[in-house]
Amino acid sequence: MAHVSVTIDNRKFRLACNEGEEQRIESLAGMIDGKINELRGSFGEIGDNRLVVMAALTIADELMEARVETAAALKRFEASEAKVGTVAASLDTLGMRIEELAARLAREGGEEDRRQA
């Protein structure tokens, strides 16, 4: 088990994490610290706990929005994929019809040649 030290709102925290996750934890802590500083700039000193809660709610709201956007994008992708499947099936059908017509024309052309001979 690895450990990492992070600073959030000018307080140091020592956290346990899986090996190799140290940089990610530091990055996440940096995001939280940045959000707290952003809110402090907007609202001033409104209390440490209140700033932390507001930062958590803001980040959770951004996460929820990203999930909604991802779900909508997935639905659009699935609808597009279904349309592609429909178009591909139509092209296959048209290809078979063209081959049938070409074969029929070849047969009729061969019969015409024999009649003329």
The per-residue pLDDT for range 43-90, each reduced to its tens digit, is 888 888 899 999 999 999 999 999 999 999 999 999 999 999 999 999
Here the tokens at position 50 are 């209140």
| CA distance between the termini of the chain | 91
Q: Which pLDDT tens digit goes with each residue over 17-40?
A: 999 999 999 999 999 999 999 999
Q: Which domain holds residue 86?
A: 2-116
Number of domains in the chain: 1
CB atoms within 10 A of CB 25: 19
Q: Which pLDDT tens digit goes with each residue over 106-117?
A: 888 776 666 776
The pTM of this model reads: 0.64
